[in-house]
Amino acid sequence: MVLAAADRLGYQPDRRARGLRERRSRVVGVTLSLRQTFHAALVESLYAAAAGQGLDLVLSATTPARDVTAAVDSLRHERCDAVLLVSPDVDARTLAELGSRQPTVVVGSDLTAPGVDTVRADDDAGMALLVGHLHERGHRTISFVDGGDAAMSATRREGYRRAMRAHGLEREIDVLPGDPSEDAGVRAAAALLRRQSPPSAVLAHNDMIATGLLLALRSAGVAVPEGLAVAGYDDTRLGALSSIALTTVSQDPARLAEEALLLAVARAGGSGVSGSGVSGSGVSDAAGEAAVVVPPRIVIRSTT
């Protein structure tokens, strides 16, 4: 009778109240950037993974005027069991301080700190996939548009250089300055078109840069991929649109989300783990930090 009345009234159990009794809220906080399209895809996967693990999520965005520390501070009022930092723009010292306050997992970055677990894709392998794909299609002059100081930028930049050397293309290494935005792609296109001998292919730090580059090339009358092949990174929904059809690399956000939440729950419970082992390799060092690396996959579309 009580259950029937509760159902009729649309009663929902108060998870926060139950959390007080269990000393666990089953709530995980997430910080993300509103300017990065990959973050939205990852959060969507986090919601799906959280539902499967009986968890709730609370989001706190970062903006140019609101840094990661401020975003995390707001999550403390939500009594979160743990916090996931998606590609946080912080240094190692700040990350260590944040990790000392509550269970913390970093997603999509190779930044490390004592007591903080990390989950990321193997971006070095991802860049090798892209360079290898272009090399197989006969490209030798392959440029790279950098992501500036964005998370994983240095790893992707060095992955590009390493892959070029592996294919005997060391003399063709060409890194253009940039940042993780469409505008950076537009600027890169203008710089390449001013050259007497532009490359035959361009890789970008992310899909946002690649999209800006692609649209600028098309506006200038350059055929893609016939005149210049273009590839991005992150496999965002924008790049998948039929009007864009961007060759890219997927970080497998569904598996990143699953691994991150497994680590968050384990860290909140006081146990150290190295992920499920389903999608990547987990390595836990003496201090107890887990580092899970998920294999990427190339997504070939019409821009190459």
Domain count, the chain: 2
Report the C-alpha dihedral over residues 45, 243, 228, 108, rounded to 10 degrees.
-10
Strand order in the sheet with 82-86: 56-62, 27-33, 82-86, 104-107, 116-121, 290-294, 281-284
Give me the pLDDT at residue 10, please. Answer: 57
Q: Are residues 117 and 146 in the same domain?
A: no
Q: Are residues 116 and 127 in the same domain?
A: no
Q: Are residues 142 and 284 in the same domain?
A: no
Range(s) of the domain holding residue 28: 2-121+252-294
Q: Are residues 232 and 127 in the same domain?
A: yes
21 burial class (0-12, 13-18, 19+ CB within 10 angstroms)? exposed
Q: Is 0.85 topped by the overall pTM? A: yes
Residue 171 lies in a domain: yes
Residue 33 lies in a domain: yes
CATH number of the domain encompassing residue 168: 3.40.50.2300
Per residue in 233-252, pLDDT (tens digit) is 999 999 999 999 999 999 99
Give me the pLDDT at residue 24, please. Answer: 72
Give me the pLDDT at residue 289, please. Answer: 87
Residue 225 lies in a domain: yes
Q: Are residues 18 and 162 in the same domain?
A: no
Per residue in 151-169, pLDDT (tens digit) is 999 999 999 999 999 999 9
